[in-house]
Structure 1
């Protein structure tokens, strides 16, 4: 693929296996997707489905603790074979992470402005201290902080959770990355602040032209943010397509079960639908389709082979031959 026309992020058959002296635990199993410039990909699923591990594996944040397979290309450049010094230039500069917990992402002993200035200096954006401080205040203003000079001179503990998350987002976009990975960026925030942070990320995406990979367990977040959605279960993508279509007319029983479990007006809390059973333990996936033990539509054949993600309509794919028995003659 020509790098000049390559998408910002292309993930192909990604696998992640955590290794120790006595065990090997496969967590991510053959995940593939592509995100174009200015596009969004949502990874949706229950806790333990492999969403965050997929996102962090793309940036190779696990080091020697995990073995990675497959391919991760950033604008056509293969990342899986890069040495650690080269990866440090890529991380934060070309691909950036907004983590779930802003408190853990910030150095509690350093002022916010100094942490921003350090990021600019490390990636060669601005090494002159006065200019870096000025740029840090501009970035804080860009993410909607009303008094950027005061916040730049503040320590993390002096800010609210929403302000800390805005500061983390400012650091993430400070070097104009091609790809922004947001790993459950609103989980620790109040509902009203959650909406503001999602709106901020969408606004920055439009202004900067970034590709965004958003990890969430919240169907509402996936519906509000839009773009494409990839539903994960037991370390694999089981459905993928435009968010409005997937979330209104799912083509995999797991996706359907997630949507049926949502609270709706007029339904008592105790009457909510739930998916029977529990997800398989990480690294102890059953033979065949991992969802088969919980699936109301499972057949004996479902336990014999793990169905691949295949086209089911234009721009949509699903991994369920029971719901989609005939191969779709479309281009995914």
Structure 2
């Protein structure tokens, strides 16, 4: 029997249209996430990670043209009308945004916001039962006094508590797919670790497929699963996180790892990636990373290499590095 994965993304492209100007941001991204599996999208700011995640949920409306295919448990999302999408968002597929403060309504209590989500998606229509379930969800995400927090306004909570409340809202309808967009960026290191542990625990408990966006190599390594490294709107490397982050097959991934501080490293020993990413939508001909790549050859500026298999369960978009490895 064929098993249908919770999320299949094929050749996804996103182009923003404004004042007759077209800006291509995501270019031909493909990946699959199975039940209970994790996919990390890793890369610098502006690489297209968050746009990819939000394009999957069709959150840009008419301001973006989205091409390719996004299938949620076998159902194509890109052709659905907005009413049907509203029924799916927050129910079958949910988002943990980067900024919990901006995501929560500052004028409403946390419990009321949770209860509204339950009511909208038909999980709990009775008001008293919905508020009781809201407190149960807050307890599930590790909030020690859920009754007090349910009666609190967002500004009365710490950043970590607000993030836990947003996660409670995201998992309230038991989604098949959870998208976490830089969920630990605004938190201190200790709270970051707690939030990552919470997400891993919820994933195991609920069996969700998780797509996590991050610019932090440490987060990608800690959360595990698979990793897709993005640069200039494309996936340039993909594979198990433990393998990609220990033996990269693309110069950009290697550059990210070389720029990480390590215990005992001498001052000035870290190597930065020279130059800067190309402006969004103004990608150069050939490989977009070639102007910054120490291993670039003349052909790299003319040919845009596709993402191809380079080993079992590994893919990369650099024929130079992988040709050398085959010879070696």
TM-score range, shorter chain: over 0.9
Measure the CA separation in 2 of the matches of 1:6 and 1:87.
20
Match of 2:154 in 1: 156
Q: CA deviation at 1:99?
A: 0.4
Uncovered stretches (5+) of structure 1, i.e. residues with no partner:
none
Residue 305 of structure 2 is aligned to residue 307 of structure 1: yes
Q: CA deviation at 1:270?
A: 3.0
8 Å contact kept, 1:263–1:269 = no
- Structure 1 residues 327, 296: closer, same or farther in 2, change over 3 A? closer
8 Å contact kept, 1:137–1:149 = yes
- The one of 278, 291, 294 equivalent to 1:293 is 291
Q: Secondary structure at the match of 1:270?
A: coil
- The one of 113, 116, 127 equivalent to 2:114 is 116
- The one of 266, 270, 274 equivalent to 2:268 is 270
Uncovered stretches (5+) of structure 2, i.e. residues with no partner:
none
8 Å contact kept, 1:230–1:241 = yes
| TM norm structure 1 | 0.97
Q: Secondary structure at the match of 1:271?
A: coil
Aligned positions, number: 326
For residues 195-238 of structure 1, the C-alpha deviation after alignment (integer angstroms, 9 at most, x for no partner) is: 00000000000000000000000000000000000000000000
| TM norm structure 2 | 0.98
- Structure 1 residues 196, 110: closer, same or farther in 2, change over 3 A? same
Match of 2:176 in 1: 178
Match of 1:147 in 2: 145
Output aligned runs, 1:19-58, within 5 Å. Answer: 19-58=17-56
Measure the CA separation in 1 of the matches of 2:228 and 2:222.
15
Q: CA deviation at 1:269?
A: 4.0
Q: After the TM superposition, which segments of 4 or more aligned residues of structure 1 sit over 4 Å from their partners?
A: none
Measure the CA separation in 1 of the matches of 2:267 and 2:233.
30
Match of 1:316 in 2: 314
